[in-house]
Amino acid sequence: MKSHLRPLLLGVLGLTAACLSSCSSVKHTSGTIYGQDFDPPATRPTNPSAVKVKVSTGAQRVYVMEGDKVLMATPCSVGTGGSTGSGTYRIQYKEAKRRRQSQPDRGYPMAFWQEWKSAYGMHWGFVKPYPCTHGCIRLPMKSAAKLFAMTQVGTPLIIASSHPEDATIGKTLPVIDDGPLPNPDRGYLHSARFFEDAQYKGNMFKN
């Protein structure tokens, strides 16, 4: 969780024209994409109180479910050394414009924060195809925005090493690796504009 620092923030590239212009000089491994380019299809819940979120730490996948139906699936990054843990929780607190409160790097954005236990949350961040956080669950920006819109305080969160969906929709998801991206401007990260740019643009749901 405590790694909302420099690497986490690289994923913001593309939220401003300045960052977008730098992409032309960034190379990526064939078969992978950047988190900024991933926009998972999502279905609006018919009964928000029936929504639950499954996190597969082994596959690094998040599944938003309503009953047995997958409303959205997305890659994520989880904690190293099993630090994300496992178990059944409920979302305790949500804050779309949360910033890091402690040092170092106080003030860095953790957009679309959803906390399931003290100091552990799902939020926008730097996504890699292997565990790389101190316990939090990092998501691509558009995934984080949609997940935030589909849940409420009290939504169940089930964290396990695997889920049945890993063998189906989980296998269809792309590999996301934000590792090659340069660090965006620090002033921008601390500005109100960051959260304005983070808002989802367009139709969030396909229904």
Nearest residue to 116 (alpha-carbon basis) of 86, 149, 144, 81:
86
- The stretch 5-16 carries a mean pLDDT of 40
Cα(21)–Cα(19) distance, rounded to whole angstroms? 5
102 pLDDT band (50/70/90 cuts)? Answer: confident
Q: What is the pLDDT of residues 12-68, one digit of tens each?
A: 434 433 343 344 445 566 679 999 999 999 999 999 999 999 999 999 999 999 999
* Three-state SS at 129: coil
Beta bridge partners of 157: 53, 89
Cα(200)–Cα(105) distance, rounded to whole angstroms? 25
Q: What is the pLDDT of residues 176-207, one digit of tens each?
A: 999 898 877 899 999 999 999 999 999 999 98
* Residue found under tokens 């212009």: 21
pLDDT exceeds cutoff 50 at 162 = yes
Cα(4)–Cα(124) distance, rounded to whole angstroms? 10
* Three-state SS at 50: helix
- Distance from the Cα of residue 163 to its chain's centroid: 18
User: Positive or negative CA dihedral for 184, 185, 186, 191?
Assistant: negative
In this structure, the number of other CB atoms found within 10 A of the CB of residue 119 comes to: 12
pLDDT at 42: 98
* Structural domains for the chain: 6-198 (2.40.440.10)
Main-chain phi, psi angles of 155, to 5 degrees: -60, 130
pLDDT exceeds cutoff 50 at 5 = no
pLDDT at 4: 42
Q: What is the pLDDT of residues 136-157, one digit of tens each?
A: 999 999 999 999 999 999 999 9
Tokens of 12: 């913001």
Which stretches within 31-106 are classed as H helix?
Answer: none
The model's pTM: 0.87
pLDDT exceeds cutoff 80 at 3 = no
Q: Write the DSSP symbol of residue 99.
A: B
Cα(95)–Cα(153) distance, rounded to whole angstroms? 11
pLDDT at 11: 39
Nearest residue to 73 (alpha-carbon basis) of 92, 87, 49, 56:
56
